[in-house]
Each structure stands twice: as structure tokens, then as C-alpha cells.
């Protein structure tokens, strides 16, 4: 057998003071306009996670994919009623050889395995606060209708033909591989077996007559699409990688398997001897959810943001847009790509026994704590390493000490006996820096703080748009540190409410710190929804005052009335985030050998 060619088709065809000042005025209004920025143009937004294979229980990498999508979607919803039309889908990918084999190994029918594992994913996502509007299973009847219809469209447009496929197939990754992507791995008995170079999963040689999709015709249209939409794939390095792939050969793609070999899938319409390739089946889920083939899907497509891991980039950035173009539809608007979590420096795998169970983590670190950790530490551009000490250290320092401590300092009865949002005194903190006078108490660094917090919502929005959520959280955390510095600098506990000299300044210090906290609470909602709710409720911020569109930071500073001034704080409900005890929270220790 000739193993040099991969896909052989035997078919028919082949801050200075000045800048601080400049920042202030416009910022008051622009932070308010965040919500309305581009309402009419893209009022609808449709976010998707990959649909998850049901061959094994979910791990923290799967949760990470879903959390990134959840945070993007929640941030979008926060931008106000004009952008409230969001849809967010997730689900399970239940067909294919991988599932068929996993069920056989487990001694279950494929349906039993799918029901069981799909339920795990649904429970996990519910516990983790994934705010999806749709959960799809590819074994549902509505999906079969959509896939078969989509197939029919490709067929009617002359894009499918019958040919013989001969090459490597990797069942674990459900993909065809060129010879250059296959290597030999030594076996236990001194023999060797072929594996995928990228994933290390075993591959097998396949030769059969299949339906083939004319992928090769789409090289130039895909290049045009990517070149005219430089933000289509974010972060940029992944966009670049796809363009590089497109410089290489783009062979036609086998899109069905013999049913005698793969029975667990959707039959090719009109030809029961063939089952539709699981990736074509799976990708169409994004259309099924929005009602395809009924016309209603058009109001959501292509306003789509796919959130995916780097391992499935080729399927989403080449195959999927090519299928869509072939069916006469537009490619998705955005593809956001993230990297992977390793555990103590190693790839997570069942055989290494280092798979981290996300439900245990949610229990140990709380839902908000673990969400915060994954999104604060996960960097889309490169892989991140997981170990427990890291979680405890981060959460204790940023949520318990810095943020929780700040809230405590500004709301504790001993400092704020009236338990209100105190008044802001414009003579103590004039809007113009550098003024001198007997009652002026604000210092240069205080203006820097105000400027930092005023620009924070826009900065955070830009980081979300660039899919750098960790940078958004880093920016919030840095402002929390600055606010703690502000409180420390002015030591409100040393000021006296009874003194006519101290009282206006004491009120102002607390007012500014509470305003900063209000901004932090509002911006943290997409990542730590319950903690943010607790924080905002303690500040007395009502549900209708929590959108980015309403986020007018420190209006009194700009000469506007502040709706919170004089308002009673919400009830005290305990620590914002109780410190974690390192010794009791170990799951995976660093440097474990
Ligand atoms: N079923 C396909 C997707 C089809 S979408 C039309 C699939 N499923 S998966 O369960 O293997 O992976 C789902 C998601 O989890 C992918 O985005 C993948 O990148 C992500 N992750 C899997 N392991 C991961 C880590 N170790 N770390 C982070 N994300 C990881 O692929």
C-alpha cells in the first residue's frame, strides 16, 4: 500500500496632569455611551462554545471554553437593553467513531453513554453559572433535519462527489491526517505504531469510497474573507496561522464514512450506505440552534462569535467557512481562539491520571472563585499550567484581601457609622488638580486614581473585544490596588466624623472608594456574578443600575448629581470572599512527581 500520499482521490475531480484633566470630562459621558456604541448595526449577538465530546467526563479545559464564552456573552448583555438580544449556545457532540468506540469499551450502547455524559456537562454548566440560552445534543431530531438539509444544499450546488479516500484517520481527533503529520511511537513490546504528530493519538490507515467535498475550490475565497476581515480570528497570531495554512495545498475533504464502519451518525440523505462525517455533522449545530433550515435563522446568522480551543481551529476557520460559503452563506463574524490548560506542566489525560475535575474545584474554591481563577489566569495566546497553590494564592490575594478588604474598610460600622454612601465634597476634591486652599485635601495620586477608574470600563470593553479577558481582570485588579492605596493614604480611620474639618473629607474619601467599588462590582459581573451581586447589593446599587450604560463614575466630581449620595447601604451579609485555607484545598500540588 502506498503511504506517501495523504488524501488520494480516485474520483471524478479532484498620565501627566494635563492628560489627567483631558481624560476626565469626556470620560464621564463616554463610559455612559458604552452600551449604545453600535446598537443598531449589531444589536443581535450569537455566542457559541464548541459542542463537547461525550466519550469522557468534563474537565477544567472544557469548563474554561464555556466560561470564556459565558463571560463574553454576559459582558455583551451588560452593555444595555439595545444589545440585550443575545443568544448563547453550548451542547454535546454525540456522533462519530470516537463515541461509538467509547461506548463499546464501556459496555454501553452509544445512547446510554451519550445520555449519561451529556447530563454531566449540563449539570456542570448549571453549577458553574454558564448562562447559555440553548443546549444542543447532536442526537436530537431537529439536528438531523438541519444536517441533512445542509447536505442537500451542498449536493445541489455541485460541491459533493463520490471518490475513493485513502489515507490516515485519527478516531480520537476525528480527522484525516497528511503523512507529514503522522509519526511512529514506540510500543510496549519494542514495536511501533503510527500516531498523530500533534495530538499523539493513534491513527489508522483507511481506504474507502466516500462523498468528497470540493474544499480545494475554497482556498481563494477563504483567503479573501480573512484578508478583508482582519479581526475574523482573534487573537491575531491564530489569524496568521490560518492564512499560512491556506498558503499550503488545500485538498478536497472526505465528508462521509461507510455505514458498515461508522453506524453511529446521521445517514447521507438518499444513501444509507454512508454516514455523514462527524465534523460536518457537529459544525452544523451552530445553525440548528438558531432554527435552520427555517428562515428564522437568518436573523442570527452571521452575527456569530464562535469560542473554540486552538486544537479545533482548522475545523472552524477552514472547513466550516468553506461549507458555509459552499451553501451560499456568510462565514461567522468572529472566531475567538484560546489555548489549553496543562496540569503541573503536563497535558491533561486519563492515562496520566492528572485530569482535574471541575466540579470538585467549584466546590473547593466556590463557583465565583474558580470562575475568577480560570479567567484571570487563562491566557488565550499560550497554554497555562494548573496547580492548587496558584488558585489559593490568587483568590486570597485578589478577592479576599484586596477587594473584600476594600469593601470592608469602606462599609464597616466603625468607619461608616451611618452606613450610607456619604457626600462628596467638591472643595476637598476639586475637579481641577493642583488647586491649593485650606480645604483642598486631594493629592496628585488621587487624580491618577480617578482617571484610572474612569477609563477602566472602556479599557475592559476593549480587552473583551480582543478576547483578552485576563487583561480586563488584571486592569480591574490594578485599580483595586490603587483604591486600597488611596484609602491607606488618607487613613479614614484616623479622621473624625465629629470634626467639621475632617467630616467632609472623610465622607469624600469613602464616597470615592465606594464609587470605585461600584465600578469594580459592575465590571466583575460577567466573571463573578454572585460575588458582584453581593458587592453591588451591599453598596445599595439596584438591579437596574448595574448596566455598563448606567455606569457614570463619580458624577459629583464632574458637577453632576450622584443618585447614590446619601443612600443607605444594603444589608451586611458577611465577608465578600472568605480566605481559603491552603492546607485544606489541595487537589493538585505543584511540582508533583
Ligand atoms: N466535539 C469537538 C468540537 C466540535 S464543535 C463543532 C471537540 N470536543 S472536545 O470535547 O474535545 O473539546 C471541546 C473544547 O474543549 C475545545 O474547544 C477544546 O479546545 C477544549 N479543550 C479540551 N482540552 C482542553 C484543555 N486542556 N484546556 C483548554 N481547553 C481544552 O473538540
Q: In this predicted structure, what is the pLDDT of residue 481?
A: 98
Assess whether pLDDT exceeds 80 at residue 15: no
How far does the centroid of ligand 1 lie from the alpha carbon of residue 110, in Å?
20
The SS3 assignment for 370 reads: helix
118 within some domain: yes
Assess whether pLDDT exceeds 90 at residue 343: yes
Query: Which residue CA neighbors atom 23 of ligand 1 most closely?
Result: 61
By C-alpha distance, which of 382, 380, 245 is closest to 321? 245
By C-alpha distance, which of 463, 467, 464, 570 is closest to 514? 570
Closest ligand 1 atom to residue 310 Cα is 19
162 within some domain: yes
Tally the domains of the chain: 2
Can you spell out the DSSP letters for 230-286? TTSEESHHHHHHHHHHHHS----EE-EEETTT--SSPEETTEEEEEE-HHHHHHTHH
Ranges 82-86, 202-206, 257-261, 523-527, most confident: 523-527
500 within some domain: yes
Closest ligand 1 atom to residue 62 Cα is 15
pLDDT band at 83 (very low <50, low <70, confident <90, very high): low
CATH of the domain at 100: 3.40.50.620
Pocket residues: Cβ below 6 A from ligand 1: 50-53, 61-62, 64-65, 93, 282-283, 285, 308-309, 311-312, 340-341, 348
Taking the whole predicted model, whether its pTM rises above 0.85 is answered as: yes
* Alpha-carbon span 497 to 11, nearest angstrom: 87
Residues 329 and 471 placed together within one structural domain of the fold: no
Assess whether pLDDT exceeds 60 at residue 586: no
Closest ligand 1 atom to residue 378 Cα is 28
346 within some domain: no
Residues 406 and 260 placed together within one structural domain of the fold: no
Q: Which three cell numbers stand for residue 553?
A: 463614575
* Mean pLDDT over the full length of the chain: 90
pLDDT band at 82 (very low <50, low <70, confident <90, very high): low
Residues 326 and 437 placed together within one structural domain of the fold: no
Assess whether pLDDT exceeds 90 at residue 264: yes
Which H, E and C letters describe 417-478, residue by residue?
CCCECCCCCCCCCCCCCCCCCCCCCCCHHHHHHHHHHHHHHHHHHHHHHCCCHHHHHHHHHH
581 within some domain: no
Q: In this predicted structure, what is the pLDDT of residue 42?
A: 55
Residues 182 and 293 placed together within one structural domain of the fold: yes
Ligand 1 pocket test target in 69, 309, 318, 467 with most atoms within 8 Å of CB: 309
pLDDT band at 26 (very low <50, low <70, confident <90, very high): very low
Say if CB 368 and CB 577 are below 8 A apart.
Answer: yes
* Alpha-carbon span 134 to 115, nearest angstrom: 17
Query: Which residue CA neighbors atom 6 of ligand 1 most closely?
Result: 283
Q: In this predicted structure, what is the pLDDT of residue 206?
A: 86
136 within some domain: yes
Residues 453 and 327 placed together within one structural domain of the fold: no
Task: Count CB-CB contacts under 10 A for residue 328.
Answer: 9
Residues 226 and 131 placed together within one structural domain of the fold: yes
Calculate mean pLDDT across residues 405-415.
Answer: 95
Q: In this predicted structure, what is the pLDDT of residue 166?
A: 87
Which H, E and C letters describe 211-233, residue by residue?
EEECHHHHHHHHHHHHHHCCCCE
Share of the chain above pLDDT 70, in %: 90
How far does the centroid of ligand 1 lie from the alpha carbon of residue 284, in Å?
16
Residues 537 and 445 placed together within one structural domain of the fold: yes
Quick one: CA dihedral 436, 441, 445, 448, positive or negative? negative
How far does the centroid of ligand 1 lie from the alpha carbon of residue 64, in Å?
9
Q: Which three cell numbers stand for residue 96?
A: 462519530
Cis peptide upstream of residue 293 (ω within 30 degrees of 0): yes
Over the stretch 500-538, which tens digit does the pLDDT of each residue have?
Answer: 999 999 999 999 999 999 999 999 999 999 999 999 999
* Alpha-carbon span 213 to 123, nearest angstrom: 37
Say if CB 218 and CB 326 are below 8 A apart.
Answer: yes
Closest ligand 1 atom to residue 341 Cα is 27
How far does the centroid of ligand 1 lie from the alpha carbon of residue 201, in Å?
15
Task: Count CB-CB contacts under 10 A for residue 536.
Answer: 22
Assess whether pLDDT exceeds 80 at residue 457: yes
The SS3 assignment for 372 reads: helix
Over the stretch 370-388, which tens digit does the pLDDT of each residue have?
Answer: 999 999 999 999 999 999 9
* Alpha-carbon span 276 to 256, nearest angstrom: 4
Cis peptide upstream of residue 235 (ω within 30 degrees of 0): yes
Task: Residue 436: give the domain boundaries.
Answer: 400-566
Over the stretch 125-164, which tens digit does the pLDDT of each residue have?
Answer: 999 999 999 999 999 999 999 999 999 999 999 999 999 9
557 within some domain: yes
How far does the centroid of ligand 1 lie from the alpha carbon of residue 63, in Å?
9
Over the stretch 33-77, which tens digit does the pLDDT of each residue have?
Answer: 343 444 444 579 999 999 999 999 999 999 999 999 999 999 999
Residues 56 and 202 placed together within one structural domain of the fold: yes
pLDDT band at 434 (very low <50, low <70, confident <90, very high): confident
How far does the centroid of ligand 1 lie from the alpha carbon of residue 65, in Å?
7
Residues 267 and 412 placed together within one structural domain of the fold: no
From 337, 354, 370, the end of a domain falls on: 337
Closest ligand 1 atom to residue 347 Cα is 26
Share of the chain above pLDDT 90, in %: 78
Cis peptide upstream of residue 302 (ω within 30 degrees of 0): yes
353 within some domain: no
What does the radius of gyration of the chain's CA atoms come to, in whole angstroms? 28
Residues 185 and 53 placed together within one structural domain of the fold: yes
Query: Which residue CA neighbors atom 11 of ligand 1 most closely?
Result: 53
How far does the centroid of ligand 1 lie from the alpha carbon of residue 309, in Å?
6
Q: In this predicted structure, what is the pLDDT of residue 350?
A: 76
How far does the centroid of ligand 1 lie from the alpha carbon of residue 93, in Å?
10
From 313, 337, 361, the end of a domain falls on: 337
CATH of the domain at 425: 1.10.730.10
Assess whether pLDDT exceeds 60 at residue 211: yes
Q: Which three cell numbers stand for residue 324?
A: 458555509
Residues 447 and 331 placed together within one structural domain of the fold: no
How far does the centroid of ligand 1 lie from the alpha carbon of residue 61, in Å?
7
Amino acid at each position: 500500500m502506498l503511504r506517501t500520499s495523504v488524501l488520494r482521490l480516485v474520483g471524478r475531480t479532484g498620565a501627566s496632569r494635563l492628560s489627567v484633566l483631558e481624560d476626565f470630562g469626556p470620560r464621564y459621558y463616554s463610559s455612559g455611551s458604552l452600551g449604545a456604541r453600535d446598537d443598531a448595526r449589531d444589536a443581535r449577538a450569537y455566542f457559541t462554545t464548541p459542542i463537547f465530546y461525550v466519550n469522557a467526563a468534563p474537565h477544567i479545559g472544557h469548563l474554561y471554553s464555556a466560561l470564556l464564552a459565558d463571560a463574553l456573552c454576559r459582558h455583551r448583555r451588560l452593555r444595555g437593553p439595545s444589545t440585550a438580544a443575545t443568544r448563547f449556545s453550548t451542547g454535546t457532540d454525540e456522533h462519530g467513531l470516537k463515541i461509538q468506540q467509547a461506548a463499546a469499551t464501556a459496555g454501553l450502547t452509544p445512547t446510554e453513554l451519550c445520555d449519561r455524559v451529556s447530563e454531566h456537562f449540563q449539570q456542570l454548566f448549571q453549577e458553574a453559572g454558564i448562562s447559555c440560552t440553548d443546549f444542543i445534543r447532536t442526537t436530537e431530531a431537529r439536528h438531523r433535519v438541519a444536517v441533512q438539509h445542509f447536505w442537500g444544499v451542498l449536493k445541489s450546488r455541485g460541491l459533493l462527489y463520490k471518490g475513493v479516500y485513502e489515507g490516515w484517520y485519527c478516531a480520537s481527533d476525528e480527522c484525516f491526517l497528511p503523512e507529514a503529520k503522522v509519526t511512529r511511537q514506540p510500543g510496549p513490546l519494542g514495536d511501533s505504531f503510527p500516531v498523530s504528530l500533534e495530538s499523539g493519538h493513534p491513527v489508522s490507515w483507511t481506504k474507502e469510497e466516500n462523498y468528497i467535498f470540493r474544499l480545494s475550490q475554497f482556498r481563494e475565497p477563504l483567503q479573501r474573507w480573512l484578508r478583508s476581515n482582519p479581526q475574523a480570528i482573534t487573537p491575531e497570531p491564530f489569524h496568521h496561522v490560518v492564512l499560512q495554512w491556506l498558503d499550503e495545498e488545500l485538498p478536497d475533504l472526505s465528508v462521509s464514512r461507510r455505514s458498515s464502519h461508522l453506524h453511529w451518525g446521521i445517514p447521507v440523505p438518499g444513501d444509507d450506505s454512508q454516514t455523514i462525517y462527524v465534523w460536518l455533522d457537529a459544525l452544523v449545530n451552530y445553525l440548528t440552534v438558531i432554527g435552520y433550515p427555517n428562515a428564522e435563522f437568518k436573523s442570527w446568522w452571521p452575527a456569530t462569535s464562535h469560542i473554540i480551543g486552538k486544537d479545533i481551529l482548522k475545523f472552524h476557520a477552514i472547513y466550516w467557512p468553506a461549507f458555509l460559503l459552499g451553501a451560499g452563506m456568510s462565514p461567522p463574524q468572529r472566531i475567538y481562539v484560546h489555548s489549553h490548560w496543562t496540569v503541573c506542566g503536563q497535558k491533561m489525560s486519563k492515562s496520566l491520571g492528572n485530569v482535574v475535575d471541575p466540579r470538585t474545584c467549584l466546590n473547593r474554591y466556590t463557583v465565583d472563585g474558580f470562575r475568577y481563577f480560570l479567567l484571570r489566569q487563562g491566557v488565550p495566546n499560550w497554554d497555562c499550567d494548573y496547580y492548587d497553590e496558584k488558585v489559593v494564592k490568587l483568590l486570597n490575594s485578589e478577592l479576599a484581601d484586596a477587594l473584600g478588604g476594600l469593601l470592608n474598610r469602606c462599609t464597616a460600622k466603625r468607619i461608616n457609622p451611618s452606613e450610607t454612601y456619604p457626600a462628596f465634597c467638591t472643595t476637598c476634591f476639586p475637579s481641577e488638580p493642583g488647586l491649593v486652599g485650606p480645604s483642598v485635601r486631594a493629592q496628585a495620586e488621587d487624580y491618577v486614581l480617578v482617571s484610572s477608574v474612569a477609563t477602566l470600563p472602556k479599557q475592559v470593553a476593549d480587552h473583551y473585544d480582543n478576547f483578552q479577558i485576563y487583561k480586563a481582570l488584571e486592569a480591574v485588579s490594578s485599580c483595586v490596588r490603587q483604591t486600597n492605596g488611596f484609602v491607606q493614604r488618607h487613613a479614614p480611620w484616623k479622621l473624625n466624623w465629629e470634626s467639621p474639618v475632617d467630616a467632609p473629607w472623610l465622607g469624600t474619601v469613602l464616597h470615592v472608594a465606594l464609587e470605585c467599588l461600584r465600578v469594580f462590582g459592575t465590571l466583575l459581573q460577567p466573571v463573578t456574578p454572585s460575588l458582584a451581586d453581593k458587592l453591588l447589593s451591599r453598596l445599595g446599587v439596584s438591579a437596574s443600575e448595574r448596566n455598563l450604560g448606567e455606569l457614570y463614575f463619580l458624577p459629583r466630581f464632574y458637577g453632576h448629581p450622584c443618585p447614590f449620595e446619601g443612600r443607605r447601604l444594603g444589608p451586611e451579609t458577611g465577608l465578600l470572599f472568605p480566605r481559603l485555607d491552603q492546607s485544606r484545598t489541595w487537589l493538585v500540588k505543584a511540582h508533583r512527581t
